[in-house]
Every structure is written in structure tokens, then in C-alpha cells.
Homo-oligomer: A and B are copies of this chain.
Amino acid sequence: MNEKNDTQDMVVGLVGLGAMGKGVACNLLAKGFEVVGHDVRADLQGWIEAQGGAFAHSLAELGRRCRVVVSFVVNDAQTEAVLYGPDGLVGHLSPGSVFIACSTMPPAYVQRLGERLAADGIHLLDAPVTGGAAGAARGSLTVITAGEKAVFEQVRPVLEAFGANLYHLGERHGAGSQLKVINQLLCGVHLAAAGEALALAQRQGLPLDITHEVLCSGAAFSWMLGDRGPRMRDGRFGDITSAVDIFVKDLGLVLATARESKFAAPLASAAFNAFLAVSGEGRGAWDDSAVMCHYARQPYEGESPAPGQEARPS
């Protein structure tokens, strides 16, 4: 019996097989876990089977086969559908199961979700991640958890399979999501600030290569300036790591969360407006380094705006 339990603990459900979920699936499989994946895109069955995993055609099937489910869907709406939608997970997971929520979601939603799942005997682990698709592929994500300590310890081997840095903030659900939101505040502000700085340098006729190098050499450095700065310097907004619209979403979440706390966040607000303006100009799918376009109208190689589309008075 013990052996059977141990074996079942090695079965991990994985909902959401996008860029993040794929990397996590590969790392779980590499560490010896049996992975049962699910995605609304049924054509991903072939992909996960090729990696050595299984595909569940319904959430009901996944719920019956797994006691630990990791969720990498996009947001709270998709999480709600996965758990409480028609034939959702909640009716099929056995009591004592653990739902590990890795999506970036409103902290208040996550807090309430913990209470709702508890009513069905399901444990929630609030567990947003940072590190992006690259971190997911390498298994080097930072996982910021909150929830019962015993639950965290129980699923630690699962988290360690794809996370290099695990944090447990405490038992209050939503704390992990709060910290993720604050993380996105800084990422978004630093990225917009890099655009503001480099666009001003460009306006003043400074050589952007040396400018970027000098700014990275000292107190003006940020991870975002180092990572996205070269794309701004070269106008390579087609090298898409993460899109402008992701920051429209995340900074929108920052502002909504801050507002719930009656907290004015003027820098986050200014950064949000920069991303939103760039998205509104039709560049929402461009690389997020294109926030620089809010400050500088620089020609983008390959861009050919329709006549009258550019600089049209409103």
C-alpha cells in the first residue's frame, strides 16, 4: 500500500501546456515524475507523448489520475474555468489533493480560492513563478509560495523539479501572488525607465552603444536594462521574448492590487501608460522592449505603417 502511495505521489497533473508549461513538463519528466498533461489544445497530445508523458482528454480524467496538479494557465479566468467550469477539476479531485497555482493572478482572488477549495478538501498552494519561459525550460524558476507549510513540504520535490529557488512566505494564501505583483511592478517600471533613458540619449545624439555600456556599468544598472537594453539600442523589437501586452496585463494587475490597498503607485501608473500607449498604436504583440517607442518615434526595420496611420491627429 505504501508503495502504491509513493508511486501515486510521483504522478503530477499539469494543466496548461504553453511556453511555461512545456518547460515544466520536460523538467518533471526528466526528474522521474509521471506527467499527465491537459490543455484546451488537444493537438498537444502528440507533443507530450513524444516527451514521454501522458495526455488527459478531460479535466475529469486528469482529476481522477492525479493527487497533485500544477497549473500554468494564463490567468484567474482560466483558473476558474479549470477548477469550477463544466466538468472542472473540483468535482474529480479526491480530498487531500493539492492544486499548485503558478499563474500570475489577483491576490484577492487567490486568497478566496484557498477558502473555496478547502470546502472541498483540496489544498491550494499559491505558487507564482518568475524566470520566464527560459527559466521554465532550464528548470531554474523562482517559485514564490504561500499556503500551509505541511502542504509546501509535501510537494517540495515537485517544485524542486522546475524551481531553482523556492520561497515560502507563510500560510496566508495570496501572499505569493502579492509578491509576484510587486515583482512585476519593478520589472515594468525598470523596462519603461530603460526606454525613457535610451530614447532621451538618442534624442540628444549620444552614441547608444557606449551609452548603454556606461549605464550598465554602475548605479544605473537594472536587470531589465541589461537584458532588454540591447534590443532598444538596436531597434530589434521583432525579437520577441515577451510581448508589450503582457505588461499591459501585469501592470494593470499591479494598479488594481495597489488600489485595493488604497496605495498610490505613480511610477507603476506612468509605466502602465507607456505600455498601453504602445499597444494602442498597434504594437501590442511586439517585444516588450518596444515600450521605448512611447518615447521615440524611431523607424523600425520591417515596419511599414499604412498611409495616414502614423501621426494622425486625433
Binding site for B on A (CB under 8 A): 107, 130-132, 142, 144, 165, 167, 169-170, 172, 175, 178-179, 182-187, 189-190, 192-194, 196-197, 199-201, 203-207, 210-211, 213-215, 217-225, 227, 258, 261, 263-271, 273-274, 295
Contact = CB atoms under 8 A, between A and B. Distances in A.
A118 to B, nearest CB: 21
A190 B267 CA distance: 10
Contact of A267 (B182, B187, B193): B193
Nearest to A135: B218
From A196, A213, A217, A258, name the one whose CB has the most chain B CB atoms within 10 angstroms: A196
A131 to B, nearest CB: 6
B179 A201 contact: yes
A196 B179 CA distance: 13
Contact of A265 (B194, B196, B206, B224): B196
A265 B294 CA distance: 10
Nearest to A198: B182
A216 to B, nearest CB: 10
A186 B182 contact: no
Contacts of A218: 130-131, 142, 183, 223
A217 B265 contact: no
Nearest to A107: B204
A134 to B, nearest CB: 10
B197 A185 contact: yes
B193 A185 contact: yes
B227 A219 contact: yes
Contacts of A227: 219
Contacts of A144: 214
Contacts of A268: 196
Contact of A263 (B203, B215, B217): B203
25 contacts: A130-B218, A130-B219, A130-B220, A144-B214, A165-B214, A165-B217, A167-B213, A169-B206, A169-B207, A172-B205, A179-B201, A182-B200, A182-B201, A182-B206, A182-B215, A183-B219, A186-B222, A187-B219, A189-B196, A219-B224, A220-B223, A221-B223, A265-B295, A266-B274, A267-B271
B224 A263 contact: no
From A178, A225, A264, name the one whose CB has the most chain B CB atoms within 10 angstroms: A178
A201 B222 CA distance: 20
Nearest to A262: B203
A207 B267 contact: no
A265 B197 CA distance: 9
B185 A142 contact: no
A130 B213 CA distance: 13
Contacts of A194: 186
